[in-house]
């Protein structure tokens, strides 16, 4: 049975998936805030697994957080 287990992090191009709690901690939000953002069609891209669980790719968190950055230029 153990031979059927795949280490997703070892698969080329794969990232470990983060739970809502982990993603929220990285962003400094409460998990419920991310849930509210998902419901409103906002926030970082997420993945819905077959069991209904929500997961986030670290790269999606970085991309979304980077896009939320505001740069003020001197007048």
Which residues lie below 8 Å from residue 73, measured CB to CB, with a gap of 6+? none
pLDDT of residue 70: 60
pLDDT in tens, 2-37: 555 656 555 556 788 999 999 999 999 999 999 999
Question: What integer pLDDT is reported at residue 46 of this predicted model?
Answer: 94
Please name the residue that has the structure tokens 């982990």.
22
* DSSP secondary structure letters along the chain: -GGG---GGGSTT--PPBPHHHHHHHHT--HHHHHHHHHTT-SS--EE-TTS-EEB-HHHHHHHHHHT---PPP-
Residue 57 has pLDDT above 60, yes or no: yes
Question: For residue range 31-46, what is the model confidence (pLDDT) as tens digits?
Answer: 999 999 999 999 999 9
Q: Give domain 12-67's CATH architecture.
A: Orthogonal Bundle (1.10)
Tell me the pTM: 0.72
Residue 46 tokens read as: 């997420």
């Amino acid at each position: 049975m153990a031979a059927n287990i795949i280490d997703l992090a070892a698969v080329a191009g794969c990232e470990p998936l983060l739970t809502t709690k982990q993603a929220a901690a990285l962003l400094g939000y409460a998990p419920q805030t991310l849930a509210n953002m998902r419901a409103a069609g906002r926030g970082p891209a997420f993945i819905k697994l077959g069991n209904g669980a929500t997961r986030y790719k670290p790269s999606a968190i970085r991309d979304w957080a980077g896009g939320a950055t505001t740069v003020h230029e001197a007048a």
